[in-house]
Structure 1
Amino acid sequence: MAGVDRDRLARLLDAETARFVTAHPQAGKAFERARGSQLSGVPMNWMTRWPGSYPVVVAAAAGSRLTDVDGHGYVDFCLGDTGAMAGHCPAPTVAAVTAQAASAITTMLPSADAPAVSELLRDRFGLPLWQFTLTATDANRFVLRLAREITGRPKVLVFDHCYHGTVDETAVTLDDQGGVVARPGSLGPQVDPARTTRVVQFNDLAALEHELAHGDVACVLAEPALTNIGIVLPDEGFHASLRALCDEHGTLLVIDETHTICAGPGGYTAAHGLRPDFLTIGKPIAGGIPIGAYGMTADVAAKVLEHDIPRLTDVNGIGGTLAANPVSFAAARATLAEVLTPAAFDRMISLAERFEAGTAGAFADIGLGWQTVRLGCRVEYMSPVRDTGTAAGTAAGWRAARTGAEASAAFDEQLDAYLHLALLNRGVLMTPFHMMALMSPATTEADVDAHTTALRDALDALAG
């Protein structure tokens, strides 16, 4: 990053690391104990990527705040990477789960809440028919199977640096020659991903049309905006062209709203009038209780049923014994009806605008050129892309990324690590891997301003 003194940055990162270790002795002890029975000392390996020498260990979470085993409190903008978007332990969800768990936890039969949840999702997202899983990963996985089945086509198309959970077909990228390869870190791909997947850059409609023209793509699986490489927003008219190209080439369109529900009660789909054939979602809709869901149009549903073999539905690759359980449905009904309401979204988006303004102001003052990008109640800040100013009358400067490749190439790992850890040491928890903040119904203006203050303090130290 231009303008950053690397030697100073390294010293500051070392100092923040030492500060973390001194302030978190109980977390350190817990980590050492866990190393005796957990791979890398954590229950899920990606937890090793949290800032600090080891992860914070949570003692309690409520609303927009966490408390750790060392007694420190944090304003939580990570919110379980969207899983706790409703806030931690929202009262209506807790009450519904408590009552349901006392009567039935899992039965492999419908519960009274099941149709209510389907209706809430239908009314929000506009797709009439729904099925349920335990994760958005499974929702995506099952939809890909259905799309291949009903189209008779073998391949899926995704956008470079997309995020759709741990779906094999989506852990892909483009190499320097434009070939489809497994993403770095993808463990043990079942097959060469070029056999299953086509990949294009987000916002590149010419490449999209070229790849769809092969005639072998069952569906495009897309986030409405990329969200796991910083927020990369769609160009004006991108989604209308995406829909038209899918129609032209007989390809189904799947929209994954798991992160982009931040755009509003019906996600980006409702906010911008998208028309997917399938829609998938998970994480936040049950207040943190595991759930996933996928909706479909009536036409798609009819085609699915044409291929269904009722006596073989327990071995068709779609389902799960604990999916569609009554606790998940009770949690989702309460969360959607009473917590993640339209009024709550209005307030959350207003808070995100305040967060965006505070962050952008801090970067402008320090002259780093970082870009602040907002999508509804989600805000990211990230390394910028150098704009060469080639358009007539355009001056050279910085801009936000338009593709996942641009965002990835501009990522500054050392600076990102410093900011994450500096904020953590000042009582502000951001999503790891990228600088993401999410507002919940419990988030306050004071929470937002605490982030701005902590960020300015970290940047002032960097500037010297």
Structure 2
Amino acid sequence: MIPAFLAAERARFLAEHPRSVAMAKAAAAVWRGGAPMHWMNDWASPSPIFAAQGVGAQVTDVDGRLYDDFCLGDTPAMFGHGDASVAAAVADQARRGAGFMLPTASAVIVGKLLAERFGLPLWQAATTASDANRAAIRWARAVTQRPVIVVFDGCYHGMVEDAFVALSDGVATMKPGLLGQVHDLTATTRVVPFNDLEALEAALASGDVAAVLAEPVMTNCGMILPEPGFHDALRRLSRDAGTLLVIDETHTMSTGPGGYTKAHGLEPDIFVLGKAVAGGVPAAVWGVTAELSARMDEAQQQIGPGQSGIGTTLSGNALAMAAMRAMLSEVMTDAAYARMLAGAARLVAGLEGVIAARGLPWSVVHVGARVELVFASNPPKNAAAMRKVLDHDRVEALHLWLINRGVLIAPFHTMMLVSPVTDDAAIDRLVAAIDGFAIATREA
């Protein structure tokens, strides 16, 4: 059933997107794989959708087709496309210079806004969350003089080689997708199941772990929520082991104005935030405690001046600072989050209604404005369990079905994001489309 279903939906897509199909063929002559970035080919559609513009929570493609956007660039546009405040700030700064390798007045304001919002007093800028996570790992190793980091099975922290380790039948292995890696990362990266405190304690026991790098809610292998008490124990165990705790909130910033960390009282040594903080302008930030900053100063003094290999000349550029200033002061407001969370609640209720009405063995998981549909009655508590219920064919079929009905969700598993400008009608259309999919594939 699913193969025939997919064949029909692919044919429909090709018939309804002639300009995107033509542009994909033209792009293949100049872009390897037919797109500027290979992830642009990771959608379920048989050809990439070429975007024309995004306004609010909708995207129009080059064929003139309009989509309700619940992907939102996989988070950079979490507060909507084309925000007027960000557009004005970026345009103004671009006229005055995009980057100088010098700080600007906006940098001072951005730093104060970050400290007030997230609680950590001292900050650094990066161009992506990948860069920020790399910096966090390097500094953790420098200040602790320890070689090992711990990550959770199923994690993704950007293009950070150290985190490309997973469990295969309980054994740590490098992920097969890590191309060109010549070093065995399992020598310096330990991986444990999420929510498994016994495994975490064992991984920390040898006293050689510089940092634990974690999302507070796992969002990259299907959404996995922490068990009650997990984060308190994670913080206690890491402190007892002399290990730094790095919390990556690139996705879980959807929780509230101060992220999951503020909402749940977490106490990271390093806090990483990317994507949404600059409204789509490439930028990320990472904050540290005063105590850790002092230890970083000591480590820096020991090596003296020179290249550290941490950071790039584009990090903290004037354009990014202008965008972050607008986002933090005008866009990422309490009122915006209230609208997002209300919309997410409506989406969760709608999806749960479909599941109940159709008697489906599915469930819904969410963190703040981020919602995940899971093709299992009971949401898995770790990545190994999630892998067992991840039906790749069904996921692909759902994605393509939604695309053909004017809805975009993140192309990875079944994650949806509600923005403050997503209206109730769009949420209802998404729920109706998923209900239609459930009916169409009932026997598959």
TM-score w.r.t. structure 1 length?
Answer: 0.94
Give, in whole Å, the separation in 1 of the partners of 2:423 and 2:110. Answer: 28
Which residue number in structure 1 is paired with residue 441 of structure 2? 462
C-alpha distance after superposition, 1:122-159 (max 9, x if no partner): 11111000000100000000010000000000011000
Find 1:82's aligned residue among 71, 75, 78: 75
Shift of 1:190: 3.7
1:291 lines up with 2:283 in the alignment: yes
Find 2:205's aligned residue among 213, 231, 252: 213
Q: Is the 8 A contact 1:269 1:275 kept in 2?
A: yes
1:93 lines up with 2:96 in the alignment: no
Which residue number in structure 2 is paired with residue 50 of structure 1? 43
C-alpha distance after superposition, 1:345-373 (max 9, x if no partner): 01100100100111121122223311110
Larger displacement relative to structure 2 (152-161 or 453-462) = 453-462
C-alpha distance after superposition, 1:244-295 (max 9, x if no partner): 0011111000000110001101100000000000001110011100101110
1:380 lines up with 2:367 in the alignment: no
| Cα separation, partners in 2 of 1:296 and 1:43, compared to 1, 3 Å | same
| Cα separation, partners in 2 of 1:356 and 1:313, compared to 1, 3 Å | farther
3-state secondary structure, aligned to 1:43? coil
Q: Is the 8 A contact 1:339 1:441 kept in 2?
A: no
C-alpha distance after superposition, 1:137-192 (max 9, x if no partner): 0000001000000000001100001110010000110121x222111312122411
Return the letter of the residue paired with 1:417: E
Percentage of pairs with the same residue: 47
Shift of 1:229: 1.3
1:106 lines up with 2:99 in the alignment: yes
Which residue number in structure 2 is paired with residue 405 of structure 1? 384
Which residue number in structure 1 is paired with residue 405 of structure 2? 426
Give, in whole Å, the separation in 2 of the partners of 1:152 and 1:269. Answer: 27
Q: Is the 8 A contact 1:201 1:207 kept in 2?
A: yes
3-state secondary structure, aligned to 2:123? strand
Give, in whole Å, the separation in 1 of the partners of 2:370 and 2:296. Answer: 35
Give, in whole Å, the separation in 2 of the partners of 1:76 and 1:428. Answer: 6
C-alpha distance after superposition, 1:96-123 (max 9, x if no partner): 0011111121100010110111111111
3-state secondary structure, aligned to 2:441? helix
Shift of 1:322: 1.0
Which residue number in structure 1 is paired with residue 423 of structure 2? 444
Return the letter of the residue paired with 2:148: K
Q: Is the 8 A contact 1:77 1:429 kept in 2?
A: yes
Shift of 1:46: 2.2
Which residue number in structure 2 is paired with residue 148 of structure 1? 141
Give, in whole Å, the separation in 1 of the partners of 2:442 and 2:300. Answer: 63
Give, in whole Å, the separation in 1 of the partners of 2:239 and 2:65. Answer: 53
Q: Is the 8 A contact 1:180 1:193 kept in 2?
A: no
1:26 lines up with 2:19 in the alignment: yes
| Cα separation, partners in 2 of 1:202 and 1:311, compared to 1, 3 Å | closer
Give, in whole Å, the separation in 1 of the partners of 2:268 and 2:391. Answer: 35
3-state secondary structure, aligned to 1:165? coil
| Cα separation, partners in 2 of 1:206 and 1:404, compared to 1, 3 Å | same
Long gaps (5+) in structure 2: none
Which residue number in structure 1 is paired with residue 31 of structure 2? 38
Give, in whole Å, the separation in 2 of the partners of 1:453 and 1:321. Answer: 47
Give, in whole Å, the separation in 2 of the partners of 1:313 and 1:362. Answer: 61
Dislocated runs of 4+, deviation >4 Å: 309-314
Q: Is the 8 A contact 1:57 1:69 kept in 2?
A: yes
Give, in whole Å, the separation in 2 of the partners of 1:313 and 1:454. Answer: 58
1:61 lines up with 2:54 in the alignment: yes
Larger displacement relative to structure 2 (143-152 or 433-442) = 433-442
1:200 lines up with 2:177 in the alignment: no
3-state secondary structure, aligned to 1:307? helix
C-alpha distance after superposition, 1:322-349 (max 9, x if no partner): 1111110110110111111111101100
Which residue number in structure 1 is paired with residue 333 of structure 2? 341
C-alpha distance after superposition, 1:390-444 (max 9, x if no partner): xxxxxxxx31010012112210001001110101100000100211111112111
Q: Is the 8 A contact 1:260 1:268 kept in 2?
A: yes
Which residue number in structure 1 is paired with residue 273 of structure 2? 281
Give, in whole Å, the separation in 2 of the partners of 1:25 and 1:368. Answer: 36
1:303 lines up with 2:295 in the alignment: yes
Give, in whole Å, the separation in 2 of the partners of 1:310 and 1:88. Answer: 46
Give, in whole Å, the separation in 2 of the partners of 1:322 and 1:443. Answer: 32
Give, in whole Å, the separation in 1 of the partners of 2:217 and 2:240. Answer: 22
What is the 5 A alignment of 1:251-270? 251-270=243-262
| Cα separation, partners in 2 of 1:313 and 1:72, compared to 1, 3 Å | farther
TM-score w.r.t. structure 2 length?
Answer: 0.98
Q: Is the 8 A contact 1:282 1:293 kept in 2?
A: yes
Which residue number in structure 2 is paired with residue 3 of structure 1? none
Return the letter of the residue paired with 2:255: A
- What is the root-mean-square deviation in Å for CA atoms of aligned residues? 1.2
Long gaps (5+) in structure 1: 1-7, 385-397
Find 2:393's aligned residue among 408, 414, 417: 414
Shift of 1:202: 0.2
Shift of 1:310: 9.6
Return the letter of the residue paired with 1:288: G
Q: Is the 8 A contact 1:230 1:436 kept in 2?
A: yes
Shift of 1:313: 5.1
| Cα separation, partners in 2 of 1:287 and 1:310, compared to 1, 3 Å | farther
Which residue number in structure 2 is paired with residue 393 of structure 1? none
Which residue number in structure 2 is paired with residue 171 of structure 1? 164
Give, in whole Å, the separation in 2 of the partners of 1:129 and 1:63. Answer: 33
Shift of 1:51: 1.2
| Cα separation, partners in 2 of 1:358 and 1:314, compared to 1, 3 Å | farther
| Cα separation, partners in 2 of 1:313 and 1:47, compared to 1, 3 Å | farther
What is the 5 A alignment of 1:128-143? 128-143=121-136
1:435 lines up with 2:411 in the alignment: no
